[in-house]
Chain A
Amino acid sequence: MATAAALAGMPLALRQELTRETSFVLFSAGQRQLVAAVQEHIFPHEPDSPGAKDINALAYLEWAITAPGIDPDTRNIIVNGVGRLQDASRERSDIPFGDLSFDQTERLLRYLADKTRWGRAWLSLVLYYVFEALLSDPVYGGNPGKIGWRWLQHQPGFPRPPADKIYGRLG
């Protein structure tokens, strides 16, 4: 769903490039650091509200893109985007992404979202999974202690899913 929206209207060649099959199994330590930094930048911790780290956004994303039945395009876009972000950072500022200041990060991400189609699709999808980590049932590993629901005064439905009846374990 979110992937289709992110890819909508994109030229076929770019789309094929972004969804190129990856041999992804797990993020490397460096990739984890980069993804966590992007997540925290776009969804920062603030005194009265949780940030990406508070909602386990990185671990959630890793689960989401390796879960059985995941749309391969989704996984490929996320994974390929990590490499592209590294390249873009070096190309535009000669500085590895991890060494950018807050303002430099903001300028780079803003450029990528506003001026590049891949960057827009990638950031939009990374943000989507931040929302899942914020607002899905805590049984999936995000939203610890219902922190996201409490922040937005969201009243969940009931009954809530037990661990043996979540997505991937039904049917």
Chain B
Amino acid sequence: MIDCDVCVIGSGAGGGPVALTLAEAGFSVVVLEKGPWFTEQDFYKDEIACCRRNTYSRNLQEEFHVVEERDKNNGWVTKPTYDSSWDLWNGNMVGGSTNLMSGFFHRLKPRDFRLLSEFGAIDGANIADWPISYGDLEPYYTKVEHEVGISGRVVDHPNLEPRSTRDYPFRATAEHPVAAWFDETCKTESLHSIPVARAILPGQLNGRGGCQYSGYCGSYGCSTGAKGSSRAALLNRAVATGNCDIRPNSHVYRLISDAGGRVVSAGYYDKKGAAELIRAEIFVVACQAVETSRLLLLSQGPRHPNGLANNHGQVGKNLLFTTGGGGTGSFGYSKLNRKKAAALKVRGPFVNRALQDWYFIDNDEMGRMKGGTIDFLFRHPNPIGQANRQKWESDRLLWGTPLKQKLKSYFTDARYLRFEVFADWLPNDDCNVALDGNFTDKWGSPVARVKIGDHPHNAKVSRYLGRKGYRMLKAMGADSASWGLSSKPPGILLAGGCRFGIDPNLSVLDRNCRAHDVENLYVTDGSFMPTGGSVPHTWTIYANSFRVADQILSELGGSKPAIN
């Protein structure tokens, strides 16, 4: 006796494609999402709700993580996140963090799938080739362009990945005048300007509106549905089939498995805190990397005494963050002619430019190694955050007239162009998820203990790319520019923890993202990634989830015949 064919836990980039594919094929799908169900009618350009409070996150007093990180003496210091500046929750709502993404979309390159074979091992890093190739994923990257809605313009460049179609299905979003300055500078610097594809619709599609160019995109929910969130692009369509039931405010605390090792049900708490149970044929976990590993570890069973799918002790290992850092260039209006100053002040359209000239590096200075991507964008327009950063003059708190003069100058004399570096975060033994032995959440479940150890190679590559980004800003005419490595990785864009692979001793999932030792359990968020690549993960997670959805569909015997 089952309640649905497929139960999907988590509704972001990993959950949406599975829910849509199977619901469209006629199977009954239930999606359990711990956060609320916001729609376009709940998203406004409101810095307080969006970014200064925890509207899209959890109350850290009730639900938190324990972070273990290196201190200044290279020892380890451990703190719960309610007592630190970390917050590893990200977009807890229907559609997950895809609601809040900027939607800078890049594919991985073929060589990213075989990093170990291509570039060799690095001491202290657990680099592994993927069990699939770029060719296996390419049709699904293309599928995402249509299903999620990716806009852009393909230009040829040395690191352009092979494509089965000539161009994106949707024309590029409107570009800011500074994009042309960027292109001109690339010509003089002999670099390749890459128009960045965006998961943003330039016009209407399937009930979604086009981009309104309000100038506030990343970190904000989209008020028109133009942003390709899992919710707007996929889940709304899944619900429309009549086969998909989305249950918001449903916190899954355990997967229950039987004597044979199969998952039979998911236990969850509903909005009122009542314990519920749902039985399904197949379970798909996609709760973002940390919480996916935590849920499996919490789900011990007769055949899984150390947690579901963890008989080889691999769940939670090789967690991936993104590495990088970034820089900012200031372009003062007074140093530009009137026309250029006016152009720079334009708000709304996107910069949409990146450099991948150093995606792979082979030179005397660095040797031969994997490099990364440099994305260029305007500094986020959130004024409260920006004002607050002006209150310190080195170590002295400013106030009164000096503070007000600094604010006035900062906001009205210049515009700030930023770059962000994306380089591989090397998987290693000091970066993982485990259950904490001391702390529990408000439901009494052990919280995830996240150990964040980075490999020194990360900083080496990031530094190299940071210098390149800085030079680009200066070449574009920035009056002043600065850059730096992040002292800690951002708490977003996580992956790994349940890597897929051939060998069950070294991986959690098989090549189709089914658990090696649980026949009806799949993981479709970024947890499967053995290496993260040096681009934001989202497109790859979407694509892989569509790929796995096809595998599940095939296992279920293909589409159910329609009943008239």
In the bound complex, do residue A2 and residue B388 qualify as a contact, i.e. CB atoms below 8 Å apart?
A: yes
Interface residues on A, range: 35 or more
Tell me which residues across on chain B come within 8 A of A156, comparing CB atoms.
Answer: 45
In the bound complex, do residue A8 and residue B48 qualify as a contact, i.e. CB atoms below 8 Å apart?
A: no
Q: How distant is the Cα of A8 from the Cα of B383 in the complex, in angstroms?
A: 23
In the bound complex, do residue A155 and residue B403 qualify as a contact, i.e. CB atoms below 8 Å apart?
A: no
Q: How distant is the Cα of A131 from the Cα of B399 in the complex, in angstroms?
A: 12
In the bound complex, do residue B412 and residue A153 qualify as a contact, i.e. CB atoms below 8 Å apart?
A: yes
Interface string of A2-40 (1 = CB under 8 A from B): 101100100000000000000000000000000000000
Instruction: Tell me the smallest distance from the CB of B177 to a CB of chain A, in Å.
Output: 16
Does B387 have its Cβ within 8 Å of any Cβ on chain A? Answer: yes
Closest to B45 in A: A157
Does B76 have its Cβ within 8 Å of any Cβ on chain A? Answer: no
In the bound complex, do residue A152 and residue B55 qualify as a contact, i.e. CB atoms below 8 Å apart?
A: no
Select A41's contact among B59, B85, B388, B399, beta carbons within 8 Å.
Answer: B399
Does A104 have its Cβ within 8 Å of any Cβ on chain B? Answer: no
In the bound complex, do residue A135 and residue B36 qualify as a contact, i.e. CB atoms below 8 Å apart?
A: no
Q: How distant is the Cα of A151 from the Cα of B396 in the complex, in angstroms?
A: 25
Interface residues contributed by chain B, number (CB under 8 Å) = 44
In the bound complex, do residue B403 and residue A140 qualify as a contact, i.e. CB atoms below 8 Å apart?
A: no
Instruction: Tell me the smallest distance from the CB of B191 to a CB of chain A, in Å.
Output: 31
Tell me which residues across on chain A come within 8 A of B396, comparing CB atoms.
Answer: 113-114
Instruction: Tell me the smallest distance from the CB of A137 to a CB of chain B, in Å.
Output: 6
Instruction: Tell me the smallest distance from the CB of A83 to a CB of chain B, in Å.
Output: 20
In the bound complex, do residue B61 and residue A72 qualify as a contact, i.e. CB atoms below 8 Å apart?
A: yes
Select A153's contact among B59, B388, B400, B411, beta carbons within 8 Å.
Answer: B411
Select B408's contact among A1, A131, A139, A152, beta carbons within 8 Å.
Answer: A152
Select A166's contact among B49, B220, B223, beta carbons within 8 Å.
Answer: B49
Q: How distant is the Cα of A38 from the Cα of B560 in the complex, in angstroms?
A: 69
Does A92 have its Cβ within 8 Å of any Cβ on chain B? Answer: no
In the bound complex, do residue B49 and residue A44 qualify as a contact, i.e. CB atoms below 8 Å apart?
A: no
Tell me which residues across on chain A come within 8 A of B399, comparing CB atoms.
Answer: 41-43, 109, 123, 127
Does A57 have its Cβ within 8 Å of any Cβ on chain B? Answer: no
- Which residues B56-78 have CB closer than 8 A to chain A? 59-61
Does B47 have its Cβ within 8 Å of any Cβ on chain A? Answer: yes
Does A62 have its Cβ within 8 Å of any Cβ on chain B? Answer: no
- Asked whether A171 and B85 contact (CB < 8 A) given A127-B391, A151-B408, A152-B407, the answer is no
Closest to B41 in A: A165
Closest to B221 in A: A170
Q: How distant is the Cα of A167 from the Cα of B50 in the complex, in angstroms?
A: 8
Does B38 have its Cβ within 8 Å of any Cβ on chain A? Answer: yes
